[in-house]
Structure 1
Amino acid sequence: MLLLQLPECFGNGNRTSFWFSPKTSYSPVATGTFVYIALTITSWFLVVSWILAPFIFNPLGFDWLKAVYDFDDFMNWIWYRGGVFAKPEQSWEKWWYEEQDHLRTTGIWGKVLEIILDLRFFFFQFGIVYQLGITAGSKSIAVYLLSWIYVVVALGISVLLAYARDKYAAKEHIYYRLVQFLVIILAGIVIAALLEFTSFKFQDVFTSLLAFIPTGWGIILIAQVLRPFLEKMALWETIVSVARLYDILFGVIVMAPVALLSWLPGLQNMQTRLLFNQAFSRGLHISQIVAGKKPKADL
């Protein structure tokens, strides 16, 4: 059940570390690969330490079957909606709402301050969109304003897919797959048209993710503050779905290296020797104790 502790490792403060390195890579200070690595290596070391420490210092952290079971438990926790009596460790949705309880008692000025602090995620979008090839080197403010079309379109697609899933997924599954197929085809046509008629580069697809993934998280945090107003709208269900998608993304980011390390032969034995090095150096053999064998001196 290691992954049931996962959301606590990604509190609102900790997640910002993931956005530091992409921003720094486009800084004028990062004039070369070596300089960029020197600027960001400590941040990435800190992030990797936060992610892998619960597994490295757990004797069963790199057990393959445990990793598989943990991932299954994590996905069940993510999708289990539960009921009134569901506990946060049983349901992601219950945990997510519980994390927002402090906002209920926050005054109006506290909410305003919370929104102002959440605007920090939009600074990454502002800095990175000007590095996209489609801007053709333009530094106009219109570039930033037009970049919000990307956010609106992504939100519209999310609403469309959520609506199609609720209406067709249960009974008319073929229509839901048709909607997904049409969205993929439309996205391909738009990318092809941008490549042909603008300065758009295929690399912009990945670069834009560095800008708009933090933007989406900032929007979710602001939506949590405005929850009393948004809960009355159909848009709230989409916000919950997107927030769930973000946590699934972070879960995969954590589990991917853990699964890879668990799959490597001999790593778990090496980890055990490192964790219990003092015991090994004294000649303590756990297998003999379990088997009930006595040292030769006592025979």
Structure 2
Amino acid sequence: MLALFHVRQHYGHPDIFDKLFAMSCGGTAKASKGVNLSEDIFAGFNSTLRGGRVSHEEFIQVGKGRDVGMQQLALFEAKLSSGAGEAVISRDAMRMASRLDFFRLHSWFYGNLGWYFTQSMTVVGVYFFIYGKVYMALSGMDSYFLEKGGLGIGGTLNTSWAFQFGFLLVVPVIAVVGVEQGFRHGFTYLLWNVMTLGPIFFTFQMGTRMHYFDRTLIHGGAKYRATGRGFTIKHEKFAELYRFYAFSHFYRGVELLFLLLMFYAYGTFSWCNCSWRLDADFYNNVEPTDLEWRTRCYDDHYQSCVLPTNQNYGIMSYSLWIIAATWMWAPFFFNPSGLDWDKIIEDYNDWQNWLKTTNDSADSWFGWWSNEQEYLEHTTRGARFITGVRKLRFLLVAIGMYLNMMYNAYFERPNRIITSDDDMLTYALSGLVIVIFLLLICCGYIASRVTKKMSMKQRKLRKIKFLLSCCCFLISMLSLTVLSVGNLFAIFILLFVAVYWFMQMCILRLQYHHIVVRALARAYDRAVGWIVFGPIMIVSMFLPFISSFQQRVMFNNAFTSGLEVSKLFAHDVAPAQVVKVKRVSKKKKNRDD
């Protein structure tokens, strides 16, 4: 249909211009290397707007290298998405949208820039879904509406979401291949695609498109990214993968993982569906409180009143777990020798050295961090304001957790049959822990600014930090005597979310070079790195056969055999070299004696 309506204006296809037509209509030169990054698309726009036609000829063959590696394809998709973001806000796209007829407009939209809109809206829909669930759970609105019968179709909505997200994305593949080569071949192609981890790859690329399209649409700054188009037999180290995928995938995957755990901890998956009049004789026809009746209903009438209302957490969230796992661990499955134990150890040492390097070179954490935040220097205040509004989602989660704890302290626990008087002491001690933690941050900042020439010495500041740390530890131990481990953990999670939101606000105010912000960002990257890299280390240690399976899926049998032989030779030659060096050194020592 795109070729039929002459709106097939993709990027990446070799273009053949009608030289006389192009020269007589303004030529093929573009005004900006940033706005007109996708020059092929703008060439199609110009030709269509000036009365020409863009056709797609299958019989013309041009030899061109193709990207076959995960990193190369991610770079290519980043370039396309950035170019699409610049094209959306260009005058050429506005003129195309206002001058095409209805049918050509729809074909042009879904075949060009609309593809990136739909991919971005899919990811935005994921965020709206999980944040809506978490906010409803933290506020208690989900349990309220479920008990009152206001969300009786909740299970149906969750099933519909899973069906739409998981299965309707498969229909276009079957339809396209089925029309061209038959539906039997379409189903076979789909099955082979699933067996070769195709859904993982395309879900990961969806995150790449959304990130760069969204950033370019708000902040601009599209640029050319060289892919190389080389053979992908080189193992990419974890530090390199982290530098490239941290902002686009790893941060988002960890965020989804955190939200899914929050939903599991605070969500309502069952409720009492019976009235208190079922035990009216027990209450002497006096209506009990909601909490009292809920407790008795769960204890005495679970089979008849609670069990029929159970909702399965796995069915409600399995698609989001797949997305989070894909965004965090897909690069390792498509990285040659990504699950090999020897390579994992080398990657770990390289990652630790990268984190500890303190200079501002490109191979250090600080240089990478400064380079990733550089786009904020050139963006507008409106763009930073929009980004700040988006970051409010973390503050709302922290506020929701705080209100949930206050509700438990002031309303739910005092209305229990067995009450305790230590709630206020518990939260007072927890608040004192938070204050001391903030004082530690302030002392760290002061210690970095004070020099030896000033009256307050570094030794005194270290002593103050040590004493405050001891006080914080003692108060934490005292809190455990009156506070459960779960509540104490929730308080620290609340503190972590609030500090992370504060760090994001400082970055938006261009304070990312501040020593406190830099220390918090480094600690956060270290934590995210362990969340991503830790499971890979465990899998490679205890399940070594998965590495062989990965190599067999990525390469053919001959190349896989060559890799195994090279490993054997590598392990055989290395000790011999060590022995030889030791013998030589021993001979030299005897000769000197």
TM-based fold match above 0.5:
yes
Q: 1:226, 1:148 → 2: CA distance? A: 28
Match in the other structure for 1:240: 518
**Conserved? CA contact 1:21–1:40, under 8 Å:** yes
Match in the other structure for 2:374: 101
Coordinate RMSD, CA, aligned: 3.9
Cα deviation digits, residues 8-59 of structure 1 (max 9, x gap): 3332772532332133124444339963333333222211112211111223
Q: 1:36, 1:180 → 2: CA distance? A: 44
1:69 aligned to 2:354?
Answer: no
**Conserved? CA contact 2:357–2:365, under 8 Å:** yes
Amino acid at match of 2:395: F
Cα deviation digits, residues 101-153 of structure 1 (max 9, x gap): 221122233322222221111111122234449952549xxx9xx98876554
From 275, 286, 292, the counterpart of 2:561: 286
The structure number with the bigger radius of gyration is 2
Cα deviation digits, residues 253-279 of structure 1 (max 9, x gap): 111111111212433223323434xx3
Q: 1:270, 1:208 → 2: CA distance? A: 43
Aligned residues: 269
**Conserved? CA contact 1:64–1:263, under 8 Å:** yes
Amino acid at match of 1:158: I
Q: 1:287 to 1:151 in 2, by over 3 A?
A: same
Q: 1:289 to 1:193 in 2, by over 3 A?
A: closer
**Conserved? CA contact 1:59–1:272, under 8 Å:** yes
Match in the other structure for 1:208: 491
Q: TM-score, normalised by structure 1?
A: 0.73
1:20 aligned to 2:20?
Answer: no
Larger mean Cα displacement after TM superposition, 54-63 or 261-270: 261-270
**Conserved? CA contact 2:394–2:501, under 8 Å:** yes
Match in the other structure for 1:260: 538
Q: TM-score, normalised by structure 2?
A: 0.39
Which of 1 and 2 has higher RCO (CA within 8 Å, sep 6+)? 1
Amino acid at match of 1:240: R
Unaligned runs of 5+ in 1: 292-299
1:9 aligned to 2:286?
Answer: no
From 332, 335, 339, the counterpart of 1:58: 335
From 267, 272, 291, the counterpart of 2:551: 272
**Conserved? CA contact 2:358–2:365, under 8 Å:** yes
Larger mean Cα displacement after TM superposition, 258-267 or 6-15: 6-15
Q: CA shift at 1:290, angstroms?
A: 7.5
Match in the other structure for 1:43: 320
Q: 1:249, 1:288 → 2: CA distance? A: 33
Q: 1:136 to 1:225 in 2, by over 3 A?
A: same
**Conserved? CA contact 1:7–1:247, under 8 Å:** no
Q: 1:117 to 1:61 in 2, by over 3 A?
A: same
Paired-residue identity, %: 20
**Conserved? CA contact 1:162–1:238, under 8 Å:** yes
Q: 1:270 to 1:223 in 2, by over 3 A?
A: same
Q: 1:108 to 1:220 in 2, by over 3 A?
A: same
Q: 1:43, 1:251 → 2: CA distance? A: 20
Match in the other structure for 1:194: 479
**Conserved? CA contact 1:161–1:179, under 8 Å:** no
Q: CA shift at 1:174, angstroms?
A: 9.6
Unaligned runs of 5+ in 2: 1-236, 272-309, 413-423, 452-456, 567-593
Match in the other structure for 2:585: none
Q: 1:175 to 1:34 in 2, by over 3 A?
A: farther
Q: 2:495, 2:365 → 1: CA distance? A: 24
1:218 aligned to 2:491?
Answer: no
1:251 aligned to 2:529?
Answer: yes
